[in-house]
Amino acid sequence: MSRIAERFAALKADGRAALVPFITAGDPHPNITVGLMHDMVEAGADLIELGVPFSDPMADGPVIQRASERALAHHVSLDDVIGMVKTFRQDDPDTPVILMGYLNPVEVMGYAAFARRAAQAGVDGALTVDVPPEEGHDLIQALRDEGLDAIYLAAPTSHRQRLEMIADAATGFIYYVSLKGVTGSANLVLDDVAKKLAEIRAVTDMPLGVGFGIKDAAMAADMAKIADAVVVGSALVSRVEANASKPDKIGAELKQLLQEMRQAMDDVRRESASQP
């Protein structure tokens, strides 16, 4: 069983939803990323999504686009990101880490080399945004050969046949993009998300995470009612950006938001469990 599967199994046994924060590696400076990862775990993160900086992050909104630009100004590469995970693992052998990014850096490194080096560093899975399941066979195989999970996205527009294809390709969990648009978009409708999650659950028993547009503790709690994991990205990266010139304050800023989300998510799950 992978570290991701073990974490979701433990959370399910406890009746809790996973809190999955995202930050871009190297933003605003490479030397603080590992510390921020530890800060997020201390604040209640169950898994971490670590963004690999890329020059053309087409699925991301302006907040995360600018995060990539800040990291790339320091020449942060995929190799550097893998090194950050290796350093993180020296003090945290348990928290699953997922690399989230785009295909080009992986292709440059080579699928097999990427999977091998990532696994050796302690990476648990990869979400490659621009690799649809029908084109991902070689990458999926390389990841599976090294025991890494291939995380896939499902969208509000994904129909039944495509959901089945995604479920067949994915391992670890499926990440449901809760609205049409890019990261950081607004206008989440809880009922719409719940209906789509029910459609996805009809084709898989994998855990389902929800992300894109979750901005505060109240929204995180709403999603924790219906999802197995709540993914938060732009709300955290916005705080990184606001304190880019004061990096010593970023950890506290991220911890405050994550602690609020963790408490709200746990409270709503407890309330639900106590109802007859």
Active centre residues (catalytic):
49, 60
| Dihedral sign for Cα atoms in the order 53, 54, 60, 61 | positive
Q: Looking at residue 134, what DSSP letter applies?
A: G
- Are residues 230 and 220 in contact, defined by beta-carbon separation less than 8 angstroms? yes
Q: What share of the chain is helix, strand, coil (3-state, %, to 5)?
A: 55, 15, 35
Query: What is the side-by-side strand order in the sheet with 149-150?
Result: 149-150, 125-128, 97-101, 48-51, 18-24, 229-232, 208-211, 174-177, 152-154
Token digits of residue 218: 């109240």
